[in-house]
Amino acid sequence: MPIQYLTELPWFAGLPEDLRELVADIEHHAGLRVVVEPTAKEKMSCEFGKRRAVVQVPEAGPPRASSLFHELLHLKRYFVDGTPKLVYCDEHEFEDDDDARTPQLFVSLDNQIEHLFIVPLELARYNCARGYWEERMGAVLKEPQLSDDGAVVVWEFIHRVLKGGGLSDAAQVQVDQRGLGEACDRFHHAVDESKEAATLCLFEIFAPAKLPRACLDYFGQQQEIPLASLKRPAI
C-alpha cells in the first residue's frame, strides 16, 4: 500500500488554516512528513519518534477536527516544543514475559501524562469534546483493575483538566479508599513543574524498581536520558 501523507489527503484542504499551518510547522521541525495510516479502531491515535510521525485515522471516514488537533498537539510537543516521551531504556533486556510488556505500559503511561497538558488546549478550542473526556474518565474510574498510579492520574485529570465537575466525588472515593491523598498532592505539584517531574514522581512513588529501565527520548538529543538522572539529591 502506498504511503499516504496527511497534507495530500482530499479533506486536508478543508481544515482550518491554523491546523494546516500547525502541520507545516511540525513537518518543518521534524524534517519529515506526517504519514497517515488507516485503522479499524474508532478513535484516532499517533505514533512518533525521531524518524517517524504517524497519525492513525479510522477507516470510517474523515476525522473530527478536534480529534486531529489532539493528535497534532502530541506531535507538536515532541517535535516542536522539545517535550520528551517516556521510553524503555535500550540497554535493558527483558527478564521474562511480564517484563516484555513493560515498554507498552510505558507508552500508555506517557500518553496519560501527556493528556494532562494536551487536553486543556483541546478543550479551550473545542469545548464540545468535554463530554467525551468526562465519559472516558468515568469509565476509567469504574475499571476493576484500576491501579493506584492510574487512580492518581485520573484524580489529577479530573481536577486539573475538567476542573472538578460531577466526577470529583467518585475520584475522591478512590483516592481515600486507597490512602493516596499524599501521592495526589505530590503528583499535582510535580505536574505544575513539568512533564519530566510528573513522570519521575510516579515512578518514585509506585514503581521504583522499574525506574532504572525508564528513559526520556528528546527529539533534539541523539541519546536517551535516564529518568533516574533527574532525581534530586536528598537534603
pLDDT level of residue 1 (50, 70, 90 thresholds):
low
In this prediction, residue 116 has a pLDDT band, given cuts at 50, 70 and 90, of: very high
Instruction: Specify the pLDDT at position 234.
Output: 54
What pTM was computed for the model?
0.94
- Tell the burial category of 206 from Cβ atoms under 10 Å away from its Cβ (0-12, 13-18, 19+): middle
pLDDT(188) > 60: yes
Per-residue CA distances from 91 to 19, 88, 207, 214 (Å):
38, 9, 19, 11
| Cell 494546516, located at residue | 20
Residue 164 or residue 137, greater confidence:
137
- CA–CA gap between residue 67 and residue 215 (Å, rounded): 28
Arithmetic mean of pLDDT, 45-61: 92
d(CA 98, CA 4): 35
Rounded distance, CA 26 to CA 80, Å? 6
